[in-house]
Amino acid sequence: MEDAGHKSTIRSAAVPAALKRRLYRTVRDLRHPGPALERRRIRDEVARFLGGRDVLRRYEREVRESGLREHLLAKGREHHDAVVATGAGHSLGAIGYTEGVYLYAVVRTARPEAMVETGVANGFSTAFTLLALQANGVGHLHSIDLPREVGRDYEPGTFYEGEGRAGIPPGSEPGWLIPEILKERWTLILGRSQEELPPLLERLGTVDTFMHDSEHSFDCMWFEFNAAWPVLRPGGVLVSDDVNSTEAFARFSVQERRDPVRLARGMALLRK
């Protein structure tokens, strides 16, 4: 299938802000060389997976030029006012910008036709994935999410207790901050992954990329990895956030005899 290339559809980046960010990062890395070294190692792992630093740089440029960062920053401020500032203890619960760009790069490289993800919340990781699908010009993302809407009462036990309390604004849907233009290649299923994932995978038959970012209990992660792996095509990619929150990801990598590629301290992928 032809590569549709990236369509710059959101907004273009501001140069002074980019310079400010670079200066901030240089000072931070000089002050804290340990984490800086780890970030460099992770970046090298990602670049190796993609096929080189030039490939990674190209994808970074695509995301920068899309304006998604500025869009997400503005929506993040809206979320802060509507959710965090209520003081009810809810968070954005999102992956960071760098992880988002790495996820974008992985999806650009993997070029999935069918991708499944669990855990949408406000829609950060979903926005990066959908941006990549748009640039690929091929593929569809099926997401499952059991949203936690701020201000709503839920039955005790609805959510796993160790969960990070990612909340969406009152009256909103999961993924509310995703630019409308990116939603063409997206289907959202509301519900628990324990109930919704098996019928979805059965319906799709084969999946090219799977991402877990829903309930980070051992049982749920173990269940999702073992449900997705058999329908993942050979060479397909399984991504997981919060890989250090339980033993599930490490144990699963050993079970399938695959070496993880790190995308962040707490985020990694396995290639089937």
Q: Rule CB under 6 A: which residues touch ligand SAM? A: 93-95, 118-125, 144-148, 159-160, 163-164, 166, 192-194, 213-215, 220
**Least Cβ distance, residue 221 to ligand SAM (angstroms):** 10
**Least Cβ distance, residue 190 to ligand SAM (angstroms):** 9
Token pair of 167 as six digits: 């909340």
Q: Output DSSP code: residue 261.
A: E
User: In 3-state terms, what secondary structure has residue 130?
Assistant: helix
Q: Which is nearer to ligand SAM, 55 or 246 (CB)?
A: 246
User: In 3-state terms, what secondary structure has residue 210?
Assistant: strand
The burial of 50, by beta-carbon neighbours within 10 Å (0-12 exposed, 13-18 middle, 19 or more buried), is given as buried
**Least Cβ distance, residue 73 to ligand SAM (angstroms):** 14
Q: Which is nearer to ligand SAM, 125 or 209 (CB)?
A: 125
Contact 194, 142 (CB under 8 A): no
Tell me, rounded to whole angstroms, the distance of Cα 180 from its chain centroid. Answer: 18
**Least Cβ distance, residue 1 to ligand SAM (angstroms):** 27
Q: Which is nearer to ligand SAM, 26 or 187 (CB)?
A: 187
Which position has the token pair 């960071």?
96
Q: Which is nearer to ligand SAM, 122 or 209 (CB)?
A: 122
Q: Which is nearer to ligand SAM, 7 or 192 (CB)?
A: 192
CA 125 to CA 104: how far, in whole Å? 9
User: In 3-state terms, what secondary structure has residue 268?
Assistant: strand
**Least Cβ distance, residue 68 to ligand SAM (angstroms):** 13
Contacts of 21 (CB under 8 A, 6+ apart): none
